[in-house]
Amino acid sequence: MTGSPREPQQDRSRLTRERLLTSTIDILSGQGWAAATVARVAEEAGVSRGAAQHHFPTREVLITAALEQMFTDLTASAAQDVADLPAGPERIGIVVARAVEIYVGRNFRAALQVWAAAASDEVLREQILPLEAKFARAAHEMTLAGLDPDGRNPNAYRLAQATLDLARGLGLAATLSDDSRRRAQVVATWVEQVELGLGG
């Protein structure tokens, strides 16, 4: 706190924005695309419609900001310090599990609603593709750093790619039903394969 008279208002504004984004993600993941309108989100967040429209004048702006928030949260939760990882085969298990965690859960379920809508909405698609590309790069960098901390394994780049594609596929399967037991088997198989592929 610097004592500037503008600060409390800026804080309130920031908090309102955060509440609206949280409600957007909640609604997308729980009620789906059609429900995620500025009006419904404002109601869920306990914010007046005018205040919501001040922050997010259109649904597209709100959805894009929410997707950016999801991607930030997703990469933050997976980006624990690579230096803390144990050496040896155990490390690969942790890195693969973190990649899968990105795609399983509330944030991915919400993002899936946006992707499905964007598949048939070119304007929305053009808006979210740069976010998607930035997110994909961040996820790949994290996974690669985990699989190959020394940056010397020639197979690590493509194994990191394949790991994230697998994780996305597991995440999509998890949106319909809880298949966590099956998923654990597939992850175990995958970890063995990555060990083989890295020549471990």
Q: Indicate the Cα dihedral angle 175, 177, 181, 183, nearest 10°.
A: -30
Among 79, 106, 134, 197, binds its own copies (CB under 8 A): 197
Among 12, 14, 49, 182, binds its own copies (CB under 8 A): 182
Does residue number 165 form part of the binding site for its own copies (CB under 8 A)?
yes
Does residue number 71 form part of the binding site for its own copies (CB under 8 A)?
no
Does residue number 117 form part of the binding site for its own copies (CB under 8 A)?
yes
Least spacing, CB of residue 47 vs its own copies, in Å: 22
Does residue number 132 form part of the binding site for its own copies (CB under 8 A)?
yes
Which amino acid, 59?
A: R
Alpha-carbon separation of residue 65 from 20, 68, 77, 197 (angstroms) = 10, 5, 18, 38
Q: Indicate the Cα dihedral angle 78, 62, 31, 134, nearest 10°.
A: -30
Q: State how far the Cα of 24 lies from the Cα of 37, in Å rounded to an integer.
A: 8
What residue ranges bind its own copies (CB under 8 A)? 29-35, 109, 112-113, 115-121, 125, 128-129, 132, 155, 158-159, 161-162, 164-173, 175-177, 182, 185-186, 188-190, 192-193, 196-197
